[in-house]
């Protein structure tokens, strides 16, 4: 063969070899692997791609088989700091796992030989999953009811710098709260935002995913783990798709190099959907291991993007429901832990969205009508057969003007108790966390948590609503095993004197609980001619509440 031809042949062979993707090394970084705790791999590979976050170009997965024989798909992610690929995994079972890595690149598919690891039995609780309309259930069987509030973002550049996760979340956890809800948006955890606004915490970036958001999300997950605090992560908010909101800086906007020209096309464009799936894949790969992430939420108040202020429809509602069907199905397919999945509306239902099988519970937000919260749950549960959550509520939605603090605090308290005595696994979550921090309301969670823990311990998951009455005092009663809990609220402007009547036997002892002082007092009661328990002569000052607890002897 002539030298020129030989050189050309060798160059061709080298190019072909270079084009062929290879997994060069996989390194299990975790020495002691424990059930419900994070383990990690680092993977070195050779492959051709322009964007490691575009799964149409390159996709690396771990295919696992659990000790019980369950197949699991774990997405891997590219770490821009180390320029290597990584995989994070939390074993939900103890025992021996089989696994191999699978690389898909340029229409080539390769995989490593099967390897093994063994997870020791752990002491953790695992991930949260659906249980019934009252509770969620951890992998280890423990029951959970979420008690907390919205902490949708850390302080913006025009707000008090103290309102950070590092301040607000320990305050919640140390006062008995176990849950909160937070957003990804252009001023908070701006994962998809190259241009940020209203924040000193994040910077503009040309990276595909904002490095500051990645770093802060890592810190948030670690903080919540240390506090035993669970949260709902909201991927997007309605303002992203509003012309006067975030749309002008959106990565999806064709004016910024994105795939679509209008917010309506965001829900129908295949290119936009693939781009969104890249984000979902990265989130699951990087943070899906975190047991403290309780819920993936697609949108905050998506109806507010679909309607104008005059209630004219600008984004066809069926396309929003169809988008949620497609995205929730995809998210369930790539999430080996099967996190809970949800989305939310403000106040206008979107036909079809409440019935999507891959959305585990439905949500809406209630403002200026906190009194309507108790009646919301049975209507939705009966119609759609899945849990329902009030993701936001408050006296006002417009602002946190302290001149309304008295009314806001009253709403804050009764909203929590309405939820505790209703069929919901997450109690209503108040908005305007800054106002309530100023009002020093976090300690109030302690009393709600005390009663919630007693309900769960007494009933071991059994909840039965009972009829109860107390004159002009608003009342709700729930039986949990051998205990009956009664919530009494005087929502009038005058002191109320009444007798509480409830149809239970006389084989109970009675305590009264003061939510403000978190103290218990022993009480006595009578039995009337109809065999009903009658707690005579108790009084409640205006706009206050109390709890009665009947315990079987």
| Tokens found for residue 108 | 């080539």
| Cα 214 from Cα 516, distance rounded (Å) | 40
Tell me, yes or no, whether 4 lies in a domain: no
Distances (CA, A) of 429 to 4, 53, 147, 162, 305: 74, 34, 8, 21, 22
CB burial readout 247-284, b (16+ within 10 A) else e: bebbbbbeeeebbbebbbbbbbbeebbebbbbbbbbbb
Provide the number of structural domains found in the chain: 3
Q: ∠ CA 381-384-386 to the nearest 5 degrees?
A: 60
Residue 13: pLDDT above 60? Answer: no
Q: 148 and 226 in one domain?
A: yes
Dihedral of alpha carbons 170, 173, 176, 182, sign: positive
Q: 410 and 267 in one domain?
A: yes
Give the whole-number percent of the chain exceeding pLDDT 70: 97
Confidence of residue 12 (pLDDT cuts 50, 70, 90): very low
CATH number of the domain residue 548 falls in? 2.60.40.1180
Q: 356 and 218 in one domain?
A: yes
Tell me, yes or no, whether 12 lies in a domain: no
Q: 476 and 360 in one domain?
A: no
Q: 395 and 306 in one domain?
A: yes
Distances (CA, A) of 65 to 35, 524, 539: 15, 59, 61
Tell me, yes or no, whether 2 lies in a domain: no
3-state secondary structure of 67: coil
| Tokens found for residue 284 | 């699951």
- pLDDT, position 552: 93
Q: 59 and 26 in one domain?
A: yes
Q: What are phi and psi of 127, to 5 degrees?
A: -95, 155
CA 284 to chain CA centroid, nearest Å:
13
Q: Which helix (H) or strand (E) holds 108?
A: strand 108-111
| Cα 243 from Cα 208, distance rounded (Å) | 23
Tell me, yes or no, whether 43 lies in a domain: yes
Q: 243 and 97 in one domain?
A: no
Distances (CA, A) of 494 to 82, 100, 470, 499, 537: 66, 69, 15, 16, 16
Confidence of residue 30 (pLDDT cuts 50, 70, 90): very high
Assign 3-state DSSP to the chain and report helix, strand, coil percentages, each to 5: 30, 30, 40
Q: What are phi and psi of 223, to 5 degrees?
A: -65, -45
For residues 491 and 184, is the Cβ–Cβ distance under 8 A? no
Last residue of a domain, one of 62, 86, 119: 119
Q: Residue count of the chain, please give it.
A: 553
For residues 293 and 287, is the Cβ–Cβ distance under 8 A? yes
pLDDT, the chain, mean: 94
333: left (phi over 0), alpha (psi -120 to 50) or beta: alpha
| Cα 132 from Cα 109, distance rounded (Å) | 42
Residue 33: pLDDT above 90? Answer: yes
- pLDDT, position 19: 65
| Cα 413 from Cα 448, distance rounded (Å) | 9
In sequence order, the 6+-apart residues with CB closer than 8 A to the CB of 420 are 145, 147, 427, 448, 451, 452, 455, 487
Residue 483: pLDDT above 80? Answer: yes
| Cα 81 from Cα 59, distance rounded (Å) | 19
* Chain segment 124-141, per-residue pLDDT in tens: 999 999 999 999 999 999
3-state secondary structure of 280: helix
Distances (CA, A) of 105 to 15, 109, 334: 16, 7, 18
Confidence of residue 14 (pLDDT cuts 50, 70, 90): very low
* Chain segment 299-349, per-residue pLDDT in tens: 999 999 999 888 899 999 999 999 999 999 999 999 999 999 999 999 999
5-14, 119-128, 426-435, 489-498: the lowest-pLDDT one = 5-14
Q: 303 and 337 in one domain?
A: yes
Q: 421 and 321 in one domain?
A: yes
3-state secondary structure of 468: coil
Tell me, yes or no, whether 380 lies in a domain: yes
Range(s) of the domain holding residue 527:
464-552
For residues 35 and 93, is the Cβ–Cβ distance under 8 A? yes
Q: 136 and 82 in one domain?
A: no
Q: 486 and 415 in one domain?
A: no
Residue 16: pLDDT above 50? Answer: no
Last residue of a domain, one of 84, 119, 154: 119
Q: How many CB atoms within 10 Å of residue 552?
A: 13
Residue 266: pLDDT above 70? Answer: yes
| Tokens found for residue 499 | 């007798």
For residues 384 and 392, is the Cβ–Cβ distance under 8 A? no
- pLDDT, position 467: 96
Q: What is the DSSP letter of 185?
A: B
Q: Which of 30, 37, 40, 27 is nearest to 91 (CA)?
A: 37
CATH number of the domain residue 231 falls in? 3.20.20.80
Tell me, yes or no, whether 143 lies in a domain: yes
Tell me, yes or no, whether 512 lies in a domain: yes
CB burial readout 370-391, b (16+ within 10 A) else e: beebbebbeebbeebebbbbbb
Tell me, yes or no, whether 291 lies in a domain: yes
């Amino acid at each position: 063969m002539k030298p020129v031809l030989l050189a050309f042949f060798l160059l061709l062979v080298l190019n072909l070899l270079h084009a062929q993707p290879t997994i060069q090394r996989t390194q299990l970084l975790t020495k002691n692997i424990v059930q419900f705790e994070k383990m990690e791999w680092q993977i070195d590979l050779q492959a051709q791609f322009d964007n490691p976050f575009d799964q149409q170009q390159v996709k690396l997965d771990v295919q696992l088989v659990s000790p019980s024989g369950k197949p699991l798909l774990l997405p891997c992610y590219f770490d821009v700091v180390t320029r290597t690929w990584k995989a994070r995994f939390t074993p939900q079972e103890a025992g021996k796992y089989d696994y191999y890595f699978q690389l898909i690149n340029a229409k080539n598919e390769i995989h490593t030989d099967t390897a093994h690891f063994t997870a020791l039995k752990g002491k953790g609780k695992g991930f949260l999953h659906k249980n019934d309309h009252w509770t969620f259930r951890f992998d280890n069987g423990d029951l959970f009811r979420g008690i907390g509030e919205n902490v949708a973002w850390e302080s913006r550049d025009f707000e008090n710098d103290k309102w950070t996760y590092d301040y607000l979340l320990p305050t919640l956890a140390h006062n008995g709260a176990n849950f909160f809800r937070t957003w990804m948006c252009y001023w908070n955890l701006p994962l998809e935002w190259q241009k940020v606004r209203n924040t000193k915490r994040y910077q503009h970036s040309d990276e595909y995913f904002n490095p500051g958001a990645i770093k802060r999300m890592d810190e948030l997950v670690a903080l919540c783990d240390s506090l035993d605090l669970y949260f709902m992560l909201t991927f997007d908010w309605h303002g992203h798709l509003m012309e006067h909101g975030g749309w002008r800086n959106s990565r999806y906007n064709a004016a910024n190099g994105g795939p679509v020209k209008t917010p309506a096309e965001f829900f129908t464009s295949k290119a936009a959907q693939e781009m969104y799936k890249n984000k979902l894949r990265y989130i699951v790969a990087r943070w899906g291991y975190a047991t403290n992430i309780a819920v993936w939420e697609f949108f905050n108040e998506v109806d507010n993007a679909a309607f104008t202020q005059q209630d004219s429809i600008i984004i066809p509602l069926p396309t929003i429901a169809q988008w949620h069907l497609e995205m929730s199905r995809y998210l369930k397919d790539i999430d080996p832990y099967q996190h809970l999945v949800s989305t939310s509306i403000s106040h206008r239902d979107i036909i079809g969205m409440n019935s999507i099988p891959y959305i585990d519970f439905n949500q809406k937000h209630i403002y200026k009508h906190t009194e309507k919260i108790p009646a919301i749950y049975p209507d939705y549960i009966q119609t759609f057969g899945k849990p329902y959550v009030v993701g936001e509520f408050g006296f006002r939605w417009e602002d946190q003007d302290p001149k309304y603090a008295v009314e806001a605090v009253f709403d804050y308290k009764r909203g929590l108790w309405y939820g505790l005595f209703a069929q919901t696994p997450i109690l209503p979550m108040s908005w305007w966390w800054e106002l309530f921090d100023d009002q020093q309301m976090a300690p109030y969670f302690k009393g709600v948590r005390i009663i919630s823990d007693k309900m769960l311990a007494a009933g071991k998951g059994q909840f039965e609503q009972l009829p109860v009455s107390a004159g002009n005092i608003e009342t709700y009663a729930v039986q949990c095993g051998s205990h009956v809990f009664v919530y009494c609220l005087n929502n009038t402007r005058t002191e109320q004197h009444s007798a509480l009547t409830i149809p239970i036997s006389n084989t109970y002892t009675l305590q009264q609980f003061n939510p403000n002082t978190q103290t218990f007092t022993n009480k006595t009661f009578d039995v009337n001619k109809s065999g009903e328990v009658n707690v005579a002569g108790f009084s409640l000052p205006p706009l206050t509440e109390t709890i009665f607890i009947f315990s079987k002897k």
